[in-house]
Chains A and B, each alone.
Chain A
Amino acid sequence: MQTSEPKAIEVTDLTVAYQDKPVLWDIDLDVPPGVLLSIVGPNGAGKTTLIKAILGLVRPAAGNILIYNKPYEAQRRIVSYVPQRGSVDWDFPTNVLDVVMMGRYGALGWVRRPGKKDRELAMHALEKVGMEAYTTRQISQLSGGQQQRVFLARALVQDATVYLMDEPFQGVDATTERAIVTLLQDLRANGKTVVVVHHDLQTVTDYFDWVMLLNIRRIASGPVDETFTPNNLRETYGGRIAFMK
């Protein structure tokens, strides 16, 4: 093992089980700083669980996870999480600006309410995702793509170093897809590390520079041109893949 550069994320021997059934088995993953990594694999491969394990939201049966050499609890403030859009009730009575300001709650801590500065930061984040015209819009009146951009703005407002995104491209329109890609590239240009759970195999090579192929076990991970090979894909998807190249 090299010790020269600290890894942005370092997962070793990670196993997660739900009631005896392993959903992640003996995962090793090193993510160097400043890469755009997509996690790819079939349904039930454990992609979301891996993200949640890194965030400490599910308890692993075994293994170790470090963010810049420290456990997650010590690094919360430099990590930002974009949950799946479908994980919340968008009929909740609140508006766009309010959701984005939730990204400041961690920095605010207990009881303190967001103030003028938090509002400005939230507005700035909304501008970055092209949603500044929707600040007072009730969130149930947004399209799927707009909801996704609100979630991304909430992550941006955290001003993190490492971003973990669960299927941000799921069910979004072309405008939003382009906006997200631009955003990811901006983040990388600023030295941030971004891990994205991704479904669309066609766009992996265009959007990302690293890829992890996952199906309960780690099949492969590394730079896209070395890792995203037909052989690895076949191993990940079990031969159910015919449309590649």
Chain B
Amino acid sequence: MENLSALIRLDYTLMIVGIGAALLGTVSGALGTYAVLRRQSLLGDAISHAALPGIAIAFLLTGSKAPLILVFGAAVAGWLGTLLIMSIVRLTRIKYDSVLAIVLSTFFGFGLVLHTLIQRTGNANQAGLDTFLFGQAATILESDVLTIGILGGVALIIMLIFWKELKLLVFDEGFAASIGFPIRTLDVLLTSLLVIAIVLGLQAVGAVLMSAMLVAPAVAARQWTNRLRLMVFLAACFGALAGVSGTIISSTASRIPTGPTIVLCATVIVGLSIAFAPNRGLVWGRIRHRRSRSDLKTAADGLLKQSQQRSE
């Protein structure tokens, strides 16, 4: 009897964790599509690393570990990091990738220092803050799922409302500006959506690997389709799939950090997509290549036979 109730409790925990992981996979997969198409994959990495000190500061200021407060802190820090990157690129001659690297490591280093300081204070409440480094999906509670669901849902709805504008921004910025769309504002909007997607995933996946959750599902989805709508949908599905399978694997085995497990699952999806997707997939490409070669060979043989017959 006791065993049974323990099993039910475990299943319930697993279900909550699974729902949380599925939601954040959906949100980061869908929004990550835009980052990949804009060739801004590394921006996601910078945002997730930059978010780390925000979590520590939010905890230091409030003493609370409520998901909304920590997510808010992470979002503000991630946002400031992005803003800093954009301003440095605009105002100096330092190249974009160098700026990314500098801002990313500075914020991340600052975040590590703050987290160490918090641990030294011996505040009993601080336990669990370090999960934001590599993620620990087992720590996801109902309240976290609610936060992910509501904020992620809002982000996705905004994406759908401004679908046409965001598509135009990503495809042809100059043309978008020429017909009167404020590309600076749209850029800020899109980046803000990315920030939301990233900070929602920090608890489960961790700052170090979160950007993979933006990039991998989108890269996999691109292999299967040539339509943006389908690409966003598939990326959301792949993200959810990676999230759920990663969390289930990591929570059944003892204390494997969830972030790496989810990312490995996503990588498997990417690998399978690159290998087996029609049109773009390597396997089909090989088969097509072989088939066209054998067709060519048959045709050449036919011609050869014809000319031989004629000469006889």
Contacts and interface: CB of A to CB of B under 8 A. Distances in A.
A85 B225 CA distance: 23
Contacts of A55: 177-178
B235 to A, nearest CB: 11
B177 A57 contact: yes
A140 B167 CA distance: 16
A102 B172 contact: yes
Contacts of B69: none
A161 to B, nearest CB: 15
Contacts of A111: 161-162, 164-165
Interface in A81-107: 81, 83, 87-89, 92-95, 99, 102, 105-106
Interface centre among A83, A93, A105, A110 (most CB of B within 10 A): A93
Interface residues of B, number: 28
A87 B172 contact: yes
A99 B227 CA distance: 12
B226 A105 contact: no
B256 interface: no
B171 A89 contact: yes
A38 B164 CA distance: 33
B171 A88 contact: yes
A89 B163 CA distance: 18
Given A76-B179, A93-B225, A106-B179, A83 B174 contact: yes
A138 interface: yes
Nearest to A108: B164
Contacts of B175: 81, 83, 102, 154
15 contacts: A76-B178, A79-B178, A81-B175, A83-B172, A93-B222, A93-B226, A93-B227, A93-B231, A102-B175, A105-B176, A105-B179, A111-B164, A113-B163, A113-B164, A154-B175
Given A94-B171, A105-B168, A112-B164, 10 more contacts: A55-B178, A81-B179, A87-B174, A92-B171, A93-B228, A94-B227, A102-B172, A102-B175, A105-B181, A158-B179
